[in-house]
Copies of this chain bind each other. A is one copy, B any other.
Amino acid sequence: MRAIADVARLAGVAKATASRALSGRGYVSEETRQKVVDAARSIGYVASPNAASLVTGRTKSVGVIIPFINRWFFAEVLEGMEVALLEQGYDMTLYNLPAASPERDRIFEYFLARKRFDAVISVGVALSETEVDQLHRLGRPLVGIGGPIRGVHTIAIDDVEAARLATEHLLSLGHTDIVHVGGVLVDEMDFAVHSNRLRGFTSAMMSAGLATDGCFYASEFTLPGGHAVGMEVLGDPRRRPTGIFAACDEIAVGIIVAARELGISVPADLSVIGIDGHPYAEMFRLTTLEQHPREQGRLAVVSLLAELDNPTEHRADGELTELPPRLVMRASTSGPRPKA
């Protein structure tokens, strides 16, 4: 009742002509095109994307696999991708990938295999070898965000560098007693992010001639996580560091809250630096390295669509686009209190 055949009949042309007129492909006289467009509008014709996909093989939609939605970084990335995709007329189909589980397998074997989308973006997922293979077998363009995936063009900040900069910031202020609170090294998002940040920290400490034994604490990337670790690290006054480099702003803020509860003054008694550029950072006057996940999402989409439009020109497999983190100094860091 609203098929292209009806439009064609109403406009007095053949289906083929109507299709060309509406899609803009092939030769159609201006006069005919106008007739078809008018006819389409008059019956409220909307093309069926299914029918079109069936023959063209293009669905105008991309699949996104992501381990969390309710985490600042991931939600920001999603919002960034959404805008960019919509702008180009693409739908976004979301798969909130759980940790290893039958449901996770099902996503790979059933949902992704159906090839409902033209391309896939993988955000911050640690993929098993099998899973990477499964993605490659789809034969669709693939882009990653947040950590290198074998054979996939990935967008991320330079985590090692960011961690090094953060640590060096504390070092340059004169701190020598520094602790790094970072991500658990074996969890869903451990694909370099956590270990890279730890690496940057260690390398900066080494360069400054400082040992790092016992200087690492693991935390969830959440405010309560940072708070709990903060209580633990700051609880014992005898072995309290003067500077803390948190792997993300939420951890950093959690630590600041813990410090306040313990009556420790920031930055007088304790300097804290994070990574992210979270909205909370400003409220807590947190010094941080900004990473703009929204922009990362946008870039991923741009790269993906470029490859879709021009498959030959696709990024070298495994290429890594590293964004420079930017240091934003606020009031959570200063030189350590001179020893009594």
Contact = CB atoms under 8 A, between A and B. Distances in A.
A96 B79 contact: yes
A268 interface: no
Interface string A65-83: 0000110100110110011
B83 A96 contact: yes
A174 B93 CA distance: 51
A126 to B, nearest CB: 19
A335 interface: no
A173 to B, nearest CB: 24
B279 A93 contact: no
Interface size class of A (residues with CB under 8 A): 35 or more
A100 interface: no
The SS class assigned to the A binding surface is: helix
B93 A106 contact: no
A75 B69 contact: yes
Contacts of A95: 82, 86
A94 interface: yes
B75 A113 contact: no
Interface of A: 46-51, 53-54, 59, 61, 69-70, 72, 75-76, 78-79, 82-83, 86-87, 89, 91-96, 103, 106-107, 110-111, 113-116, 222-224, 227, 254, 257, 260, 279-280, 282-283
